[in-house]
Amino acid sequence: MESIRNDHTFQEKSIWSKTVDIPPRKPLAGSLTVEAAVIGAGMAGILTAFFLKQQGIDVVILEADRIAGGQTKNTTAKITSQHGMIYQKLIKKIGPKNARLYACANEAAVHAYEKLIEKENIDCHFEKLPSYLYTTDENRAKELEQETHAASSLGISAHFTKVNDLPFETAAAVRLIIRHSFIHWNS
């Protein structure tokens, strides 16, 4: 589905990865014994390690490259329940009940990040913004309208629009009311 895009994924690098410089960390010197190891230092890995630590579990995060250097880097550092054209497919493949569970789990994760940032007073430029899944191809507009209905049927606040506030022309878009974004990272 090359002509349907999620924010700026058509670019070589995300805007976030072009404008944020996360300094490299030194490799682990020697060995370490812990109760749990989290593989990957993206947003999901860091959140997982945080919650394990909150439960009193001794944890280490293992990262092959840089913090937020994998999937997180290429998502413009956003957290959202909108992950491309997924909800129509989920409803067809696993049924509306299970698709709703997936949607609710994603919505809960978004809110968990927000609560954590507020509770811990984390200075990370966290901001609520709309999220778009869009196309520049008029022939694909109906697919986005169907995805909007699918997402809405699962409880996600999604709206179909032909006129939007993106800085370029589009044929149609699914607009999620709230997504959360880390504008830049304070190290």
Q: Is 155 a domain residue?
A: yes
Q: Is 93 a domain residue?
A: yes
pLDDT given at position 60: 96
pLDDT given at position 22: 77
pLDDT given at position 10: 39
State which residues form the domain around 88. Answer: 77-182
When divided into structural domains, the chain yields a total of 1
Q: Distance between CA 80 and CA 78 in Å, rounded?
A: 6
Helix axes 87-120, 43-54, angle to 10 degrees: 50
Q: Is 31 a domain residue?
A: no
pLDDT given at position 128: 80
R_g of the chain computed on alpha carbons: 18
* Per-residue model confidence as pLDDT tens digits over 11-29: 455 656 677 777 888 888 8
Q: Is 3 a domain residue?
A: no
Q: Is 17 a domain residue?
A: no
Q: Is 24 a domain residue?
A: no
pLDDT given at position 147: 95
Q: Is 18 a domain residue?
A: no
Identify the segments of the chain with pLDDT beneath 70.
1-17, 71, 73-77, 163-166, 177-187
pLDDT given at position 13: 58
